[in-house]
Structure 1
Amino acid sequence: MALLKIKFSQKKRVKLAQGLWLMNWLSVFAGILVFSMGLFLKIELRKRSEVMDNSESHFVPNSLILMGILSCAFNGFAGKICYDSLDPAKFAKWKPLLKPYLALCFLFNILIFFVALICFLMRGNLESTLAQGLKNSMKFYRDTDTPGRCFMKKTIDMLQIEFKCCGNNGFKDWFEIQWISNRYLDFSSKEVKDRIKSNVDGRYLVDGVPFSCCNPSSPRPCIQYQVTNNSAHYSYDYQTEELNLWRRGCREALLHYYSSMMTSMGAVVLLVWLFEMSVTVGLRLLHTSLESIPNPEDPECESEGWILENSLKDTLKYALENLKKIVRDCYNWLLLSVGPLEKNRIVDGE
């Protein structure tokens, strides 16, 4: 028994073709939207590529760009088919292409759903990328005289100011690295010598942070040096002075920014997928309703359209049998191909 069998008069077929033509062109605009979202996300990721550990995060924008291009191509082509279906002479040239085209549409819909799912699931990968990337970038903060790294100080400072964050996981991350360049240290000073000798790596570590960690909402001038030393400042307790420095780490801030963006894009792509599925179903109904016209010379007669010619169970069983047959034929072909080669190898070895 056919799945979702519907009777169509000529008037219904014309309305279906016209509705699908409109839906396909709306899908073209949806494809442009998906392409634009992917391009925007790629630009946003490129802006902060210095604080990311690898390029895997670009998988999502690249996928969105590809899906947008394919959506425009597929739906533009389908719109042309729906327009020509109103003219039997023009539609005749599309008939041989419809079945393979519908199979491609089905695969395309699976890909769109997969991309929408990836938008929701990339948070974990993005978090590890940001954590390692920020950790490495902070180590280069002091290298203002090193070619290729001289921009890192400005990048980190602008990042902390824009996202109101400090360090990787928090402001204490700056205590573990030397973020002040040796160029600005007085090595004749006893304090500098003592700090450098106080750790195995010979680094100048201080309980201080860059100026970009300061919160402008603080009612007192920002305390960025000797942050944990309460006695060094009047009426100060670093554990209660929440407005002095940004408490949130930049990893959390960037993760929230990008994950919320990807979640919104995933929701849009999911809506596009639902729309594409309805277009594919409508195109299949149009295809079968036009093919099942009893008398092609009388286009006004009624016909039937369906999604699947048999039930879903029978269709899956038939597809599985065909797949097994293809695998078996490939296996037999490999045996026939490898057999003579193995025989020749043995003969040559003798």
Structure 2
Amino acid sequence: MSMMKIKFTFQKRVRLAQGLWLLSWAAMFSGMVVFFMGVFLKTELLRRSEVMHNDDIHVVPNLLMVVGLASVGINLCAGRICQDSMDVARFARWKTFLTPFFIGSLLFTFMFLVAMALSYALQASLEESLKIGLKNGIRFYKDTDTPGRCFQKQTIDHLQIEFQCCGNNNFRDWFEVQWINNRYLDFTCKDVKDRVRSNVDGRYLMDGVPFSCCNPASPRPCIQEHILDNTAHHNYDYQTEELNLYSRGCRQALVSYYMGLMNTIGPGVLSVFMVQMSMLASLRYLQTAMIGVEAEDMEVETEGYILEKGLKETLEEAKETLKALLRLKGGQVVDETTEGDAEAGASE
């Protein structure tokens, strides 16, 4: 028994083709929107690639761009099919192509859901990538004269200012690394020599942070050195000076930013998926409704359906077809192996 069967008169088929033509254009523009959303997300990820350890998260914008472009192509074809459906002779050219086109379009459409699911599933990977990337970025902050790291300081400073954050987890991360280049340290100064000698790695560590950690909302001039020393500054208590430095870590800030982008993109992708599925359902009805139409009698009443048989029967048929294909392929492999063995025996 056919699934979701509907009877179509000539007028209904015309209205279906006209509605599908409009829907295909709406779905095409939606696909373009998805493509540009993928481009935007890709650009935002590349902008901060220096503070990311791996590129796993890039699979989301890449997939969005692919399915967006595929959607544009699918809907352009669907629009042309609608136009040709008014002429039985021209529509006949599509008949052998429509079933594989429909199946391929369905697979690409479900990739929208895959992209949306990955945008949430890869949050842990994004966080881990930023954790390692920011840690390395802070460690190499001072290497302004090292090839390949010359702009690391600039990147970190811009990042902390733009996202109003400090360090990886918080401002204390700067206490664990030497972030001042040796060329800017006076090694004749006793304080500098004592700090370097007191560290087993010979690093100059201090309870200070770069200027980019300073919060402009602070009512007093920024204190970025001797942060933990209350006696070094007048009327100062580092435990109560909450506005002096940004308290949020950059990892948290970036994860929130990117997940905010993906949470915005997700509903948009879901909406496009619904539009695309509506287009494919309408196309399927048009395809099946045109099966019984002949050039001599365009006004004949026909039936359209989503599946020729029930869902269970269709799945069983697909399963059997797949098994037959696998057996055929396996038989070809066996025949090729037997033929190869026979040739080898003949040569001996």
Return the letter of the residue paired with 1:330: K
Output aligned runs, 1:250-265, within 5 Å.
250-265=250-265
Q: Distance in 1 between matches of 2:93 and 2:330?
A: 37
1:121: Cα distance to partner? 2.0
For structure 1, the residue ranges without an aligned partner over 5 or more in a row are: none
TM-score by length of 2: 0.96
Q: Distance in 1 between matches of 2:11 and 2:211?
A: 72
Q: Which residue of 1 aligns with 2:323?
A: 324
1:329: Cα distance to partner? 1.6
Q: Distance in 1 between matches of 2:41 and 2:108?
A: 22
Q: Which residue of 1 aligns with 2:133?
A: 133
Q: Distance in 1 between matches of 2:237 and 2:344?
A: 83
Q: Distance in 2 between matches of 1:78 and 1:266?
A: 25
| Partner secondary structure for residue 291 of structure 1 | coil
Q: Which residue of 2 aligns with 1:266?
A: 266
What is the total number of aligned residue pairs between the two structures?
Answer: 348
Question: Is the counterpart of residue 242 in structure 1 residue 242 in structure 2?
Answer: yes
Output aligned runs, 1:71-150, within 5 Å.
71-150=71-150
TM-score by length of 1: 0.95
1:143: Cα distance to partner? 1.2
1:40: Cα distance to partner? 1.1
Q: Distance in 2 between matches of 1:33 and 1:118?
A: 19
Q: Distance in 1 between matches of 2:88 and 2:339?
A: 53
Of 159-168 and 144-153, more deviation after overlay is shown by 144-153
Q: Distance in 2 between matches of 1:209 and 1:154?
A: 14
Contact 1:227 1:238 in 2 (8 A): yes
Return the letter of the residue paired with 1:262: M
Q: Distance in 2 between matches of 1:156 and 1:164?
A: 11
For structure 2, the residue ranges without an aligned partner over 5 or more in a row are: none
Q: Distance in 2 between matches of 1:226 and 1:52?
A: 30
Contact 1:284 1:307 in 2 (8 A): yes
Q: Which residue of 2 aligns with 1:304?
A: 303
1:147: Cα distance to partner? 2.7
1:275: Cα distance to partner? 0.9
Return the letter of the residue paired with 2:299: E
Q: Which residue of 2 aligns with 1:33?
A: 33
CA RMSD, aligned part only?
1.6
Contact 1:119 1:262 in 2 (8 A): yes
Return the letter of the residue paired with 2:305: W
Q: Distance in 2 between matches of 1:208 and 1:345?
A: 77
Output aligned runs, 1:1-350, within 5 Å.
1-293=1-293, 296-342=295-341
Return the letter of the residue paired with 1:152: Q
Q: Distance in 2 between matches of 1:173 and 1:111?
A: 41
| Identical pairs, percent | 53
CA change 1:346–1:183 in 2 (3 A) is farther
Return the letter of the residue paired with 1:180: I
1:111: Cα distance to partner? 1.6
Return the letter of the residue paired with 1:297: E
Q: Distance in 2 between matches of 1:343 and 1:138?
A: 67
Contact 1:292 1:305 in 2 (8 A): no
| Partner secondary structure for residue 72 of structure 2 | helix
CA shift digits 1:234-269 (9 cap, x unpaired)? 222212211111010001101111111012112211
| Partner secondary structure for residue 113 of structure 2 | helix
Q: Distance in 2 between matches of 1:131 and 1:328?
A: 49
Q: Distance in 1 between matches of 2:343 and 2:89?
A: 57
Contact 1:38 1:60 in 2 (8 A): yes
Contact 2:116 2:270 in 1 (8 A): yes
CA change 1:231–1:27 in 2 (3 A) is same
CA shift digits 1:46-89 (9 cap, x unpaired)? 21111111222222111111111111111011101111111223
Contact 2:208 2:226 in 1 (8 A): yes
Return the letter of the residue paired with 1:220: R
Q: Distance in 2 between matches of 1:274 and 1:183?
A: 60
Q: Distance in 1 between matches of 2:135 and 2:33?
A: 35
1:120: Cα distance to partner? 2.4
CA shift digits 1:87-117 (9 cap, x unpaired)? 2232122222111111111111122221122
Q: Distance in 1 between matches of 2:342 and 2:177?
A: 67
Q: Distance in 1 between matches of 2:319 and 2:312?
A: 11
1:296: Cα distance to partner? 4.6
